[in-house]
Amino acid sequence: MKKRVLSGIQPSGKLHLGNYLGAIKQHLAAQALPDWDRYYFIASYHALTTSPEREVLRELSLEVARSYLALGLDPEKSVLFLQNDVPEVTELAWVLTCLAPMGLLQRATSYKDKIARGLAPNHGLFAYPVLQAADILVYDSHVVPVGSDQKQHLEICRDLATKFNQTYGETLVVPEAQIKEEVAVVPGIDGQKMSKSYKNTIDLFASKKQLKKQVMAIVTDTKTLEEPKDPDTCNVVTLYKLFATAEETAEMEAAYRAGNYGYGHAKLALLEKLNHALEPHREKYQYYLKHEDEVIDILRRGGKTARAKATEVMARVRDRVGLV
């Protein structure tokens, strides 16, 4: 059996630098694996847990698809699809739900975090990890590259696959999480974790003008141009480091310590790096923005491939469970 790498992302906001460095970059690195099947999907059912507006869900699903394509997802090498093109996933989620101990889900920190942030506690939010497990298990996925915040969800998935196999006999592939521990949390323009919920993002496909506005809004202290500054506590330096070479970073740090180097200078240096890194992807993004039919066509083709695999796995599951 060909091995399969799978990952998903929720269409719950415009993609930002934190999403790219913390997750998407690792997802797409799997394209270099020869002889593997690569599945990437847009977790539209998951987004329903928090995003009930029709137009928003529709637009963000397409936005995530065109962003992945612009960032280098090659539809000839990888299967890109919408979660909702494979309804079998919700069927497997139900079977797994009936095996999932309440205690296991009650311990899920993402649910508790979301409630603490003020989201209404609907059942979808609570069952979120079960649907995520189904996403992975319904395609016999072997490896799942994710950001470190998804560790617990992957553990729950492995627990549910193991429980299924113990209950009904070897049926499901127990997947491995692939987590790059060294990837740091990317700070937002206010210094907290970059997140759409904190409205502190630097967006991947903002216009040049918007990008400049976001970079210029990075929070610093109020030291004057002449005063020496501390590079170790500055958000601009932290972000610059993610794109600059070691020498360039050392140069900026030295300029901070010497004084006569303002935060405005550092922000412009960061902006130049970001423009340089994003430029090759912007053109592709614009292309897919103008060719929505092509994006939808790629998603539909991907959905067909993914659904064929899911149908095969579900037939096995139904048989094992006794669903005649």
For residue 12, the minimal CB distance to ligand TRP (Å) is 8
- Reported as half-sphere exposure (CB side, CA atoms, 13 A), residue 35 has a value of 2
* Residue closest to 123 by CA, chosen among 196, 173, 189, 50: 50
Q: What percentage of the chain's residues is helix, strand, coil (to nearest 5)?
A: 60, 10, 35
Sign of CA dihedral 311, 314, 320, 324: negative
209 is catalytic: no
| Residue 84 vs 150, nearer CB to ligand ADP | 150
* Catalytic member of 77, 196, 212, 284: 196
Query: x/- contact string, 130-169, with ligand TRP (CB under 6 A)?
Result: --x--xx-------x-x---x--x----------------
CB of 44 closer than 8 Å to CB of 35 = no
Is residue 8 at the binding interface for ligand TRP, with CB under 6 A as the rule? yes
Residue type, 113: D
For residue 192, the minimal CB distance to ligand ADP (Å) is 9
Residue 44 interacting entry, from ligand TRP, ligand ADP, none, C-beta within 5 to 8 Å by type: none
Position among 43, 93, 274, 317 found at the interface with ligand TRP (CB under 6 A): 43
Cα 179 to Cα 95: distance, rounded to the nearest angstrom: 27
114 is catalytic: yes
Residue type, 173: V
Is residue 47 at the binding interface for ligand TRP, with CB under 6 A as the rule? no
**Pairing outcome for strands 176-178 and 79-82:** unpaired
241 is catalytic: no
- The C-alpha angle 169, 175, 176, rounded to 5 degrees, equals 140
For residue 126, the minimal CB distance to ligand TRP (Å) is 14
Residue 18 interacting entry, from ligand TRP, ligand ADP, none, C-beta within 5 to 8 Å by type: ligand ADP
Kindly list the residues in this chain that would bind ligand ADP in the complex (CB under 6 A): 9-10, 12-13, 18-19, 21-23, 146-147, 149-150, 185-186, 193-197
CB of 203 closer than 8 Å to CB of 235 = no
Positions touching ligand TRP (CB under 6 A) are 7-10, 43, 46, 132, 135-136, 144, 146, 150, 153
Catalytic residues: 114, 193, 196
